[in-house]
Amino acid sequence: MKRNVFFALSVFLLLAAALPALAQFTPQEIADRPKWEEFLKTAEIIKEEPIGDGVTKPLKLTMKKGDIVHTACWKNPYGLQQGFLEGWQYEIAAYEMDKLLGLNMIPPTVEREYQDKKGALSFWAESEIRLLEMSEKNVQPPASAGDRLEKYKYIVRAFDALIGNEDRNQQNILYTKDWRTLIIDHSRSFRSSKEFTERLMTGKNAKGGKPLLFRKLPREFVEKIKGLTFESIKQAVGSFLTDEEIKAIIARRPLILKEIDEMIREFGEAYALY
C-alpha cells in the first residue's frame, strides 16, 4: 500500500539547507498543500481513536482515499471550557494566517464535519519530539540546529502576539527529526477583548508581566506584518473569524511593530533583522 507522508523526514534531511528563512516546509510540501487540503475534506474516515491529551478531547482519525492512507487530528471545541474561550474555527484561521504570512509551520487544516458536528481537521504532523519532552528529558539539539531553533522561537512568539494566542506551551511546539519547528493547537487564539488589543501576549510589555521577547525576526516577516489590512486578512480567513476578531489583529499590529522598533534600538538593526 502506498503511503504519502507530507512531513517525510528523509526529504527534510535532504532539503533542509535549501529552505528560505520563512519556511519550515520544503517547496514541494508547500506545493502539495492544496492536495492535502482536498484529502482532508474528502477522504473516507476508517478509524477513530482518542489522542489522550488536551482538554479539548481531540481525536486521531485514520483516513483513506484511493491508495493513500494518512492520519489527522479532529477537534471541535466551542465556547467556554475550563475557564477559557475555545473555538475550533480558530485552528483553521491560524493555518490561513500562517500561509498569508509565509511562515509555513502549521500543518494543513480544514473544516470537516464528523459525527454530525463541525470541527477542524488537521493533517497529522510527523514530529520527533515536543519541546516538553526536551525539557523533561534534558534533550539537547545539535549545535548546528541552534541558530535556526532560536530564530523560530522568536518567530513563534511574534506570530502568537499577532493572533492573540493565550495557549502556547511546551506541549504544542514540535520538532522534526532534522529540527524544524511545527506548531499546533490554536483554539484559544484570536482574542478580541480590550485586554488583548491593548497588550500583547508576548514581547517586552507582554500581558501578565512576563516578557517573552522576540529579539530577531526576518525582514520579510516584518514587512508582511506591516502590509496586513482588514481586507487581506478577511480574504485569507473567510468566515472563520468575525470582523471584530480581524479588527483585533489590526489593533495588535502597531503594538508588534513598536516592539520591533524597540528591539532594533536595543540590539541594532543588523542583529534584530535578517
In a domain, 109, yes or no: yes
- Same domain (yes/no): 63, 161: no
- Same domain (yes/no): 150, 210: yes
Percent with pLDDT over 70 in the chain: 89
Instruction: Identify the domain containing residue 206 by its residue range.
Output: 129-272
- Same domain (yes/no): 76, 195: no
- Same domain (yes/no): 186, 210: yes
- Same domain (yes/no): 163, 253: yes
* 5-50: pLDDT as tens digits: 343 333 333 334 344 456 688 888 899 999 999 999 999 999 999 9
* 253-265: pLDDT as tens digits: 999 999 999 999 9
- Same domain (yes/no): 102, 188: no
Confidence (pLDDT) at 209: 61
Of 123, 150, 174, the one marking the end of a domain is: 123
Return the higher-pLDDT residue of 232 and 2.
232
In a domain, 116, yes or no: yes
Of 105, 123, 141, the one marking the end of a domain is: 123
Return the higher-pLDDT residue of 99 and 83.
99
Q: At 53, is the pLDDT very low, low, confident or very high (cuts 50, 70, 90)?
A: low
What DSSP assignment string belongs to 133-184?
HHHHHT----GGGHHHHHHHHHHHHHHHHHHT-----TTSEEE-TT--EEE-
**Does residue 55 carry a pLDDT above 70?**
no
In a domain, 203, yes or no: yes
- Same domain (yes/no): 93, 40: yes
- Same domain (yes/no): 249, 136: yes
* 204-236: pLDDT as tens digits: 877 766 677 888 999 999 999 999 999 999 999
In a domain, 2, yes or no: no
Confidence (pLDDT) at 212: 77
Confidence (pLDDT) at 23: 62
Q: Which residues contact 3 (CB under 8 A, 6 or more apart)?
A: 68, 69, 70
Q: At 195, is the pLDDT very low, low, confident or very high (cuts 50, 70, 90)?
A: very high
Confidence (pLDDT) at 54: 60
- Same domain (yes/no): 205, 155: yes
Confidence (pLDDT) at 204: 81
The arithmetic mean of pLDDT across residues 119-145, rounded, is: 94
Confidence (pLDDT) at 175: 95
- Same domain (yes/no): 209, 114: no
What's the whole-model pTM score? 0.89
181, 152 Cβ separation under 8 angstroms: yes
Confidence (pLDDT) at 208: 66
Of 103, 123, 143, the one marking the end of a domain is: 123
In a domain, 1, yes or no: no
In a domain, 256, yes or no: yes
Count of domains forming the chain: 2
Distance of CA 65 to the CA centre of its chain: 26
In a domain, 4, yes or no: no
Q: Please give the helix or strand (H or E) that residue 232 lies within, else none.
A: helix 230-237
On average, the pLDDT of the chain sits at 89
- Same domain (yes/no): 134, 108: no
Q: Please give the helix or strand (H or E) that residue 221 lies within, else none.
A: helix 219-226
Percent with pLDDT over 90 in the chain: 76
28, 10 Cβ separation under 8 angstroms: no
- Same domain (yes/no): 65, 79: yes
**Does residue 274 carry a pLDDT above 90?**
yes
Confidence (pLDDT) at 21: 54
